[in-house]
Amino acid sequence: MEKWMQVLTEKIPNQQLISDLAGRYSYSFDASFGEHLPDLVVQAKNREEVVHVLKVANDYHIPVYPRGQGTCLSGGPLPVHGGIVLDLSQWPQEIDVQVEDLTVSVSPSVRTAGINEEAEKHGLMYPPDPSSAHVATIGGNLAENSGGPRGLKYGVTKDYVLGLELVTPEGEIIRTGGQTIKNVTGFDLTKLIVGSEGTLGVITEATLKLVPKPLGKQTMMIEFMNLRTAGAAISHTLTSGILPAKIEMMDQACIAAVENFRPSGLPKDAAAIIIVELDGHPETLKVEIEMLQKIMRKIGATGMTIPTTEKEADDIWFARKQVSPAIAKIKPTKVSEDATVPRSKIPDMMDRLQEIKDKYSLELVVFGHAGDGNLHPNILCDKADAAEMKRVEKAVQEIFEAAVDLGGTLSGEHGIGTMKAPFMEYELGAAGLDMMKRIKESWDPNGIMNPGKIFPEKGQKLVLTDG
Ligand SMILES: Cc1cc2nc3c(=O)[nH]c(=O)nc-3n(C[C@H](O)[C@H](O)[C@H](O)COP(=O)(O)OP(=O)(O)OC[C@H]3O[C@@H](n4cnc5c(N)ncnc54)[C@H](O)[C@@H]3O)c2cc1C
């Protein structure tokens, strides 16, 4: 056994260390591409264990990869240079709601959906709602700055973080922010850590902001005969004085995929649908839904469905949730992107996606949180088909370029990880990227925290095959 492993075992119970091949293999992938075996997996269950792991790793210059539930879509927890995977999912789940402060303190392993469930018991809400909320951990959400459909009205994870406890790469415990809504004491390290993808340390506790739970909600599904009108309907809605909680869009290919997979009564002949959820006081909802109908009629919507029961509304949202599993049936490999553009550029982005789809003869479907410009172009392909994967790689590169050229960004919520690192300079410029690198180097002088992520390595290219 190597010396660093020996030292590590001194303070970590044996049953929390995984060194056999089968065990390590199960930590070699996430929900994206690529497989990388760690040398050791440590299942940390408290901050003292995290401190010990990071001190040993820092002394011996061993890479450490924090990991929640491994649902990352950009390669974030992959141990690309070997070393230690630090599994935080086994840490006891602690959720402590401070009702009068409208805050909640959580341990890193807590499943995100559990926070909202706990808040609702007190008439409160934790708004960030990534689709993976029932599986993913809050630690992963904080590291990726995850968002979900409600991001349109309520923002994303970073908008709800008041304070963090972090173990630094050198094994010190620091606390950032606190319990208060306002806090301008020094640099805002909380915001720096959120979204840093585990490259600056290990988050061991978070204090999150809660909001009052809205008194009611109302869903509406609207049909369009072309995608541009659907895009325009979104901007007309958002400039009308109404701010829906969610506006989700599905194109024709997504509608067809869902109807083939699990028939849900979606309009099969529509070129696109948008699904809106309004929330607020029931009386306000009545007025807003009428306004919305007028807007949609004026812009040329070809059909509208306004559910009158909770069950009917749930069925529509269930159909929306079927998009991912439904399109996964079309072909064995799904390349899921989350390029995001300014809202006014949604129609232009839709045109660019159509051009890319035709140019490379690919199955490309689009759905997503269109209300905040966060589209999910998904390419359905077969990773065993090398020629097709080459076309996919070129198409993905052009999707990134299209988003940035339209004033948007490489990633609205899935993060950079390994998958988008080669394109960082395209968005940030050399000086912008270098400034981020300098921050990283001062936090982590030995470069042990999640190396190989965010920052492109020499000659790194987009590779969409495992290995
Ligand atoms: C079906 C599906 C749907 C999804 N839907 C959404 C969505 O709607 N919105 C969205 O934003 N994302 C979505 N995702 C992506 C993913 O679920 C999120 O990125 C999530 O936050 C990852 O959480 P996790 O616990 O699985 O973290 P992991 O995948 O294990 O890790 C993610 C990153 O966080 C780091 N990390 C984990 N824990 C810590 C910690 N305690 N301290 C420091 N760093 C840490 C890891 O090193 C890694 O870089 C989806 C994924 C899938 C598979």
206 with 221, same domain?
no
Element (H, E) at 305: strand 303-305
CB-based contact 105:127 (threshold 8 Å): no
Domain boundary among 184, 212, 240: 212
Ligand 1 atom nearest 73 alpha carbon? 15
Report pLDDT for 467.
Answer: 52
CATH for 208: 3.30.465.10
- 204 and 241 part of one domain: no
Same domain, 58 and 156: no
Label residue 48 exposed, middle or buried (CB < 10 Å: 0-12, 13-18, 19+). Answer: middle
CA of 233 to the centre of ligand 1 (A): 31
Residues 39 and 78 in one domain: yes
Instruction: Kindly state if the Cβ of 107 falls inside 6 Å of ligand 1.
Output: no
Q: Is residue 447 part of a domain?
A: no
Residue 69 Cα to ligand 1 midpoint, Å, equals 7
Nearest CA to ligand 1 atom 3: 132
Is 225 a member of any domain? Answer: yes
Judge whether 363 lies within some domain.
no
Residues 61 and 16 in one domain: yes
**466 part of a folded domain:** no
In a domain, 205, yes or no: yes
Ligand 1 touching residue 146 (CB < 6 A)? yes
Mean pLDDT by 10 residues, the chain (467 residues): 94 97 97 95 98 98 98 97 98 98 98 98 97 96 96 97 98 96 95 98 98 98 92 90 95 94 94 96 97 96 96 95 92 92 88 95 90 91 94 96 96 95 96 98 98 93 75
Whether the model clears a pTM of 0.85, i.e. scores above it, the answer is yes
The pLDDT score that the predictor gives to residue 343 is 86
Contact 219, 277 (CB under 8 A): yes
Domain boundary among 42, 60, 87: 87
The answer to whether residues 144 and 189 belong to one domain is: yes
Question: Is residue 413 within 6 Å of ligand 1 at its C-beta?
Answer: yes
Q: What was the pLDDT predicted at 463? A: 81
Whole-number Å distance, alpha carbon 32 to ligand 1 midpoint, is: 11
Calpha distance 373→92 (Å, rounded): 36
Cα–Cα distance for residue pair 224/315, rounded to 1 Å: 20
CA of 145 to the centre of ligand 1 (A): 9
Q: Please count the structural domains in the chain.
A: 3
CB 105 near ligand 1, within 6 Å: no
User: Does residue 141 form part of some domain?
Assistant: yes
Pair 343, 234: CB distance under 8 Å: yes
CATH of the domain at 259: 3.30.70.3450
pLDDT of the residue at 466 = 63
Residue with tokens 């000086």: 431
My answer on whether 197 and 288 are in the same domain is no
Q: What are phi and psi of 128, to 5 degrees?
A: -60, 125
The C-alpha atoms of residue 305 and residue 221 are separated, in whole angstroms, by 5
Residues 311 and 269 in one domain: yes
Tokens of 35: 């497989």
Boundary-marking domain end, from 310, 325, 340: 325
Does residue 160 belong to any structural domain of this protein? yes
Do residues 99 and 207 both lie within one domain?
yes
Return the residue whose CA atom lies nearest to atom 37 of ligand 1.
140
The ligand 1 atom at the shortest distance from the C-alpha of residue 149 is 8
Q: Which helix or strand (DSSP H or E) is residue 366 part of? A: strand 363-369
Q: Which domain holds residue 208?
A: 95-212
H or E element that contains 11: none
111 with 194, same domain: the answer is yes
Ligand 1 pocket test, candidate residues 42, 111, 131, 409, most atoms within 8 A of CB: 131
The alpha carbons of the chain give a radius of gyration, in whole angstroms, of: 23
Secondary element (H or E) of residue 356: helix 346-359
Residue 258 CA, ligand 1 centroid: distance in Å:
25
